[in-house]
């Protein structure tokens, strides 16, 4: 049996906005992702050249060397717009909160051995600075990039990195009894410990990269793909008896990376596939930044794991294999 | 465990944000932050920044996700129940057309502009706050598009909002305003948008549109408004913190900030003329008159704000008195412009009916009957005689605000105001002393303006005739433009209304 509620019928005049319909190849119902993304960045008839970069417009395809016939080709396979992004992250974060309660109730981090505490302080906590650097880069790509298809998800990614930097900070606070001493100590490590200086130099060098798509490749294909798996997975032995605790508290990072990579890989694949020239440039950038990430990661992994940098090489090989799968010549 | 003390909330938040940042040494800080020196603003101590709100990302995600769930549930239910048929009158939709074509794209510009400030301000405290606002502004443009998307399915004038925004003559008014802010340095951007727009003037922009939606039965837009309210109050606290911080940091900042406040107040006032017209002429059910809104939100609220800021030496914006005097006139003068150029407007126009005229007389007892009612009555008479008045000449535009030069002299509402400046042997024209001053302070910037009328004459807008230009605008002639009476919107509205009455029997 079915029941049917009788309603007035109103025939729509059109299904979606004109610019969306032209992209869909006709007036068809569009998704909220499509309506919230397609063409919403201004493209024509700008009034004034920026005081801070007077040779280019504020939105200008010339801010990267790669050329796209249409910057709305590299779409987000997750189809994130603001609402779906925040709802997804709020859901992921529920697990984070539960894990922190679990760890804190049992004192899993306060009862650590000195070796365990020192390992986390030196090996894990400085990652919050690397996330903050990644946040700066994704924010830069958002402001400097072209087309909402790419720049929109970049501000989401920037928010993610700030969020992950804050999760690491909470781990530090759980470790030091909410006093902040471990975070202060880890900052000294970040600034001075030779183990981290290659990584710090790498991220600082990326801050001055002016080509926004090269920066995108540096951050996602280089730094994220090599250094995050290195610290969040391969460096586990360095956490001594708290391997499981750290795994629980950094679950967000691993889930996040699996998800973000779906998007960032898809963007890189699409841009590289546009032309031989793009492919050559992106390949060269990817090779360069993966190499740099591996070199900086070797010092770190040697210091944390006494493995002469092997873990970084392993992470680098995985990153290169993945980059090749995206159509890059490496 | 060491003997260190447990952190208070403020210190904890500092670890979550400013503790993340460091002074770079492998690259010079001036290369990492290349844009925060040239404006001349002096910051002695970034750490003196007081975080206006202490939101960590996990809390942000949680609050915002909760609000989005509720908002989209209302939007879905609005669509399912054909809420568009329940607004006060078909004319109301024109308010949404003005909003989607003129305001929503600026939310987008704010999103990118706050990303710029969120990367390029050297201090980490304001950077984090600016990034959150960048996220919020993306939220606002997307939720506005999603809210109005349903109306676009039934009404004209909404479908080409993005294409029109980059081209149509009057949309260059808000666009040039935001282009101006986006192309300024990061500190000026924060004063222009963070302080002047989001703090000083938001109650005259955001609030009138949302209250208008509430009064006119637009439950989806008003739900968006309620949902964005807590974002807006965060933006306001950021705006006020920015200006206080700059003024506290160094006395040399005062003249720079004062110049920006003067500039952006006047720029904002000109853009708000569109809101004035919306409130007085376009809302079928009126919330209050523009003059009343100006008195409450600028004269009173702005007055106490500037009393508060006086301790830093900051003065009430230059020409605030002129703007207050213009509150008697601006809505009428703008509606007159759009009525004359209805063939080139992306929304419908109409002459007020008798009841509406009486409302205007009551709200503007000193000016309406004397200066504007006779013109409306004449135009209504001409309409009746089949001789509706159209202005077929292209208007001269103000080089600064880009509004047609239709405003009158301060204190003399029957004489059009003309100002001009000569720069590098070229003459530039302005609607007011406020706009002329802005040009004279930054002539190299404002000579670049993409003035729609100049562009038409130069052949850059699709052709030499009005139909050519309208085609280039993607304006669907006879549907998107012209009077409400006789429009497809009106026909549809009347049909729904008749249908409802018939079913009720």
Question: Residue A35 domain-assigned?
Answer: no
What is the predicted pLDDT for the residue at B3?
A: 60
Q: What is the DSSP letter of B349?
A: B
Average pLDDT of the residues in B422-430: 98
What is the predicted pLDDT for the residue at B70?
A: 97
Nearest CB partner across the interface for A42, out of B105, B155, B492: B105
What is the predicted pLDDT for the residue at B307?
A: 95
Mean pLDDT, chain A, as a whole number? 96
Closest alpha carbon to B216 in B383, B110, B89: B89
Q: What's the alpha-carbon Rg for chain A, to the nearest Å? A: 22
Tens-digit pLDDT profile for residues B82-107 = 999 999 999 999 999 999 999 999 99
Residues of B in contact with A165 (CB under 8 A): 20
Question: Which chain B residue's Cα is nearest to A146?
Answer: B112
Average pLDDT of the residues in A28-52: 98
pLDDT higher than threshold 80 for residue B412: yes
What is the predicted pLDDT for the residue at B277?
A: 97
B496 interfacial to chain A (CB closer than 8 Å): yes
pLDDT band for position A232 (50/70/90)? Answer: very high
Question: Residue A283 domain-assigned?
Answer: yes
Q: Do A135 and B131 touch (CB under 8 A)?
A: yes
Residues of A numbered 300-329 whose beta carbons fall under 8 angstroms of chain B's beta carbons: which are they? Answer: none
B59, B115, B149, best to mutate vs chain A, most A CBs in 10 Å: B115
Nearest CB partner across the interface for A39, out of B6, B162, B449: B162
Question: Residue A54 domain-assigned?
Answer: no
Residues of B in contact with A50 (CB under 8 A): 182-183
Q: Which long-range contacts (CB under 8 A, 24 or more apart) does A100-107 make?
A: A100/A170, A100/A174, A100/A249, A102/A248, A103/A174, A103/A245, A103/A248, A103/A249, A104/A174
Residues contacting residue B479 through CB under 8 Å, at least 6 positions apart? B156, B157, B487, B488, B489
pLDDT band for position B1 (50/70/90)? Answer: very low
What is the predicted pLDDT for the residue at B505?
A: 55
**Pair B211, B286: CB distance under 8 Å:** no
Mean pLDDT, chain B, as a whole number? 95
Q: What is the 3-state secondary structure (H, E, C) of chain A?
A: CCCCCCCCCCCCCCCCCHHHHHHHCCCCCCCHHHHHHCCCCCCCCCCCCCCCCCCCCCCCHHHCCCCCCCCCCCCCCCCCCHHHHHHHHHHHHHHHHHHHHHHHHCCCCCCCCHHHHHHHHHHCCCHHHHHHHHHHHHHHHHHHCCCHHHHHHHHHHHHHHHHHHHHHHHHHHHHCCCCCHHHHHHHHHHHHCHHHHHHHHHHHHHHCCCCHHHHHHHHHHHHHHHHHHHHHHHCHHHHHHHHHHHHHHCHHHHHHHHHHHHHHHHHHHHHHHCCHHHHHHHHHHHHHHHHHHHHHHHHHHHHHHCCCCHHHHHHHHHHHHHHHHCCCCC
Q: Do A179 and B26 touch (CB under 8 A)?
A: no
Residues of B numbered 3-32 whose beta carbons fall under 8 angstroms of chain A's beta carbons: which are they? Answer: 4-7, 11-12, 15-16, 19-22, 24-27, 31-32
pLDDT higher than threshold 90 for residue A244: yes
What is the predicted pLDDT for the residue at B503?
A: 65
What is the predicted pLDDT for the residue at A67?
A: 98
Residues of B numbered 422-461 whose beta carbons fall under 8 angstroms of chain A's beta carbons: which are they? Answer: 445-446, 448-450, 455
Q: Cα angle at A310 between A305 and A312, to 5 degrees? A: 90
Q: What is the DSSP letter of B404?
A: B
Distance between CA atoms of residues A301 and A294, nearest Å: 10
Distance between CA atoms of residues A244 and A251, nearest Å: 10
Q: Do B183 and A12 touch (CB under 8 A)?
A: no
In Å, how far is B59's CA from the nearest CA of chain A?
Answer: 8
Question: Residue A86 domain-assigned?
Answer: yes
Residues contacting residue B468 through CB under 8 Å, at least 6 positions apart? B461, B462
Tens-digit pLDDT profile for residues B306-327 = 999 999 999 999 999 999 999 9
Q: Do A180 and B11 touch (CB under 8 A)?
A: yes
What is the predicted pLDDT for the residue at B199?
A: 87
Average pLDDT of the residues in B281-310: 95
Count how many pairs of residues, chain A against chain B, have C-beta atoms within 8 Å: 260
pTM: 0.97
pLDDT higher than threshold 80 for residue B2: no
pLDDT band for position A305 (50/70/90)? Answer: very high
Domain B59-504 homologous superfamily, CATH:
Ribonucleotide Reductase, subunit A (1.10.620.20)
What is the predicted pLDDT for the residue at B502?
A: 74
What is the predicted pLDDT for the residue at A10?
A: 85
Exposed, middle or buried: residue B466 (CB in 10 Å: 0-12, 13-18, 19+)? middle
Domain tally for chain A? 1
**Pair A13, B159: CB distance under 8 Å:** no
In Å, how far is B493's CA from the nearest CA of chain A?
Answer: 11
What is the predicted pLDDT for the residue at A155?
A: 98
pLDDT band for position B202 (50/70/90)? Answer: confident
How is B35-57 classified by DSSP, letter by letter? TSSTT----S-GGGPPPSS---H
pLDDT band for position A2 (50/70/90)? Answer: confident
Q: Cα angle at A196 between A191 and A201, to 5 degrees? A: 75
Does the predicted interface ipTM exceed a cut of 0.95? Answer: yes
Average pLDDT of the residues in B486-504: 87
Average pLDDT of the residues in B179-191: 98
Q: What is the 3-state secondary structure (H, E, C) of B171-201?
A: HHHHHHHHHHHHCCCHHHHHHHHHHHHHHHC
What is the predicted pLDDT for the residue at B499?
A: 78
**Pair A149, A37: CB distance under 8 Å:** yes
Q: How is residue A242 written in tokens?
A: 């708290």
Q: Do B20 and A152 touch (CB under 8 A)?
A: no
Residues of A in contact with B79 (CB under 8 A): none
What is the percent of chain A with per-residue pLDDT over 90, rounded to a whole number? 94
Q: Do A207 and B32 touch (CB under 8 A)?
A: yes
Nearest CB partner across the interface for B5, out of A36, A44, A179: A179
Residues of B in contact with A82 (CB under 8 A): 64, 68, 135, 138-139, 142-143
pLDDT band for position A121 (50/70/90)? Answer: very high
Question: Residue A16 domain-assigned?
Answer: no
Distance between CA atoms of residues B93 and B79, nearest Å: 15
Tens-digit pLDDT profile for residues A252-292 = 999 999 999 999 999 999 999 999 999 999 999 999 999 99
**CATH number of the domain to which A234 belongs:** 1.10.620.20
The pair phi, psi for residue B141, each rounded to 5°, is -65, -40
Question: Which chain B residue's Cα is nearest to A201?
Answer: B26
> What residue numbers bound the domain in which A190 lies?
76-325
What is the predicted pLDDT for the residue at B31?
A: 98
Tens-digit pLDDT profile for residues B456-477 = 999 999 998 999 999 999 999 9
Q: Do B65 and A89 touch (CB under 8 A)?
A: yes
Question: Residue A3 domain-assigned?
Answer: no
**Pair B70, B78: CB distance under 8 Å:** no
B8, B138, B156, best to mutate vs chain A, most A CBs in 10 Å: B138
Q: Do A204 and B119 touch (CB under 8 A)?
A: no
Residues of A numbered 207-226 whose beta carbons fall under 8 angstroms of chain B's beta carbons: which are they? Answer: 207-208
pLDDT higher than threshold 70 for residue A7: no
What is the percent of chain A with per-residue pLDDT over 70, rounded to a whole number? 98
Weakest-pLDDT range from A106-115, A320-329, B268-277, B416-425: A106-115
Q: Do A87 and B69 touch (CB under 8 A)?
A: yes
């Amino acid at each position: 049996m079915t029941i049917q509620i009788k309603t007035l019928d109103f025939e729509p005049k059109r299904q979606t906005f004109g610019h969306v319909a032209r992209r869909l190849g006709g007036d068809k119902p569009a998704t909220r992702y499509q309506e919230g993304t397609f063409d919403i960045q201004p493209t024509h008839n700008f009034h004034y050249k920026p005081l801070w970069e007077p040779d280019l417009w504020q939105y200008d395809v010339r801010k990267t060397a790669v050329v796209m016939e249409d910057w709305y080709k590299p779409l987000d396979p997750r189809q994130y717009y603001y609402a779906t992004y925040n709802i997804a992250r709020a859901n992921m974060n529920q697990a984070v909160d539960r894990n922190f309660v679990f760890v804190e109730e049992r004192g899993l981090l306060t009862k650590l051995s000195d070796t365990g505490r020192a390992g986390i302080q030196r090996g894990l906590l400085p990652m919050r600075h690397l996330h903050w650097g990644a946040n700066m880069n994704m924010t830069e790509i958002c402001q400097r990039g072209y087309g909402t298809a790419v720049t929109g998800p970049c501000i989401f990614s920037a928010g993610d990195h700030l969020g992950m930097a804050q999760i690491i900070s909470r781990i530090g606070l759980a470790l030091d009894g909410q006093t902040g001493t471990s975070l202060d100590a880890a900052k000294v490590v970040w600034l001075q410990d030779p183990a981290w200086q290659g990584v710090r130099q790498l991220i600082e060098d990326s801050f001055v990269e002016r080509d926004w798509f090269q920066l995108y490749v540096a951050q996602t294909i280089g730094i994220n793909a090599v250094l995050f798996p290195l610290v969040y997975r391969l460096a586990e032995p360095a956490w001594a008896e708290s391997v499981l605790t750290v795994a629980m508290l950094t679950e967000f990072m691993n889930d996040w990376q699996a998800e973000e990579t779906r998007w960032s890989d898809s963007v890189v694949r699409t841009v590289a596939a546009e032309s031989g020239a793009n492919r050559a440039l992106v390949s060269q950038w990817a090779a360069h930044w993966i190499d740099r990430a591996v070199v900086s990661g070797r010092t770190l992994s040697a210091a944390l794991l006494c493995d002469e940098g092997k873990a970084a090489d392993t992470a680098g090989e995985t990153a290169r294999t993945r980059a090749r799968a995206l159509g890059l010549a490496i | 465990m060491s003997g260190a003390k447990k952190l208070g909330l403020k210190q904890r938040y500092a670890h979550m944000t400013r503790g993340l940042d460091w002074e770079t040494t492998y690259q010079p800080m001036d290369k990492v932050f290349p844009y925060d020196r040239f404006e001349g603003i002096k910051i002695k101590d970034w750490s003196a920044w007081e975080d206006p709100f202490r939101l960590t990302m996990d809390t942000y995600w949680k609050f915002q996700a909760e609000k989005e769930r509720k908002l989209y549930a209302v939007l879905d239910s609005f669509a399912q129940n054909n809420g568009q048929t329940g607004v006060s009158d078909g004319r109301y939709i024109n308010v949404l057309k003005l909003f989607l074509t003129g305001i929503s794209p600026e939310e987008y510009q704010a999103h990118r502009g706050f990303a710029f400030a969120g990367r390029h301000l050297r201090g980490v405290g304001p950077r984090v706050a600016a990034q959150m606002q960048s996220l919020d502004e993306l939220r606002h443009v997307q939720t506005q598009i999603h809210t109005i998307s349903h109306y676009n399915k039934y009404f004209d004038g909404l479908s080409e909002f993005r294409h029109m925004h980059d081209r149509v003559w009057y949309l260059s008014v808000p666009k040039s305003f935001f282009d101006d802010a986006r192309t300024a340095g990061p500190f000026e951007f924060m004063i222009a948008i963070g302080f002047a727009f989001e703090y000083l003037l938001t109650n005259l922009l955001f609030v009138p549109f949302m209250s208008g939606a509430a009064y006119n039965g637009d439950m989806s837009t008003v739900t968006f408004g309620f949902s964005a309210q807590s974002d807006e109050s965060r933006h306001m606290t950021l705006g006020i913190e920015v200006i206080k911080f700059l003024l506290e940091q160094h006395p040399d900042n005062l003249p720079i900030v004062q110049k920006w406040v003067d500039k952006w107040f006047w720029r904002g006032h000109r853009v708000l003329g569109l809101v004035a017209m919306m409130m007085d002429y376009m809302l079928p059910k009126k919330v209050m008159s523009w003059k009343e809104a100006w008195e409450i939100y600028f004269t009173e609220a702005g007055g106490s704000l500037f009393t508060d800021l006086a301790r830093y030496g900051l003065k009430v914006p230059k020409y605030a008195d002129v703007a207050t005097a213009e509150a008697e006139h601006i809505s009428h003068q703008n509606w007159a412009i759009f009525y004359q150029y209805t063939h080139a407007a992306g929304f419908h126009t109409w002459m007020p009916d008798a009841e509406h005229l009486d409302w205007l007389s009551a709200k503007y007892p000193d000016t309406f009957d004397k200066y504007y009612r006779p013109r409306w009555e004449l135009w209504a008479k001409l309409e009746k005689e089949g001789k509706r008045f159209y202005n077929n000449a292209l208007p001269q535009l103000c080089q600064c605000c880009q509004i047609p030069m239709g405003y009158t002299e301060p204190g003399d509402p029957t004489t059009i105001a003309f100002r001009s400046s000569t720069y590098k042997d070229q003459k530039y024209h302005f609607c007011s002393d406020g706009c002329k001053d802005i040009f004279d302070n930054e002539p190299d910037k404002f000579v670049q303006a993409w003035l729609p009328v100049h562009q038409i004459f130069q052949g850059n807008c699709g052709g030499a005739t009005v139909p050519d230009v309208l085609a280039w605008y993607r304006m669907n002639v006879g549907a998107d433009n012209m009077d409400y009476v006789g429009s497809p919107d009106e026909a549809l509205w009347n049909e729904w209304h008749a249908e409802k009455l018939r079913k009720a029997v």
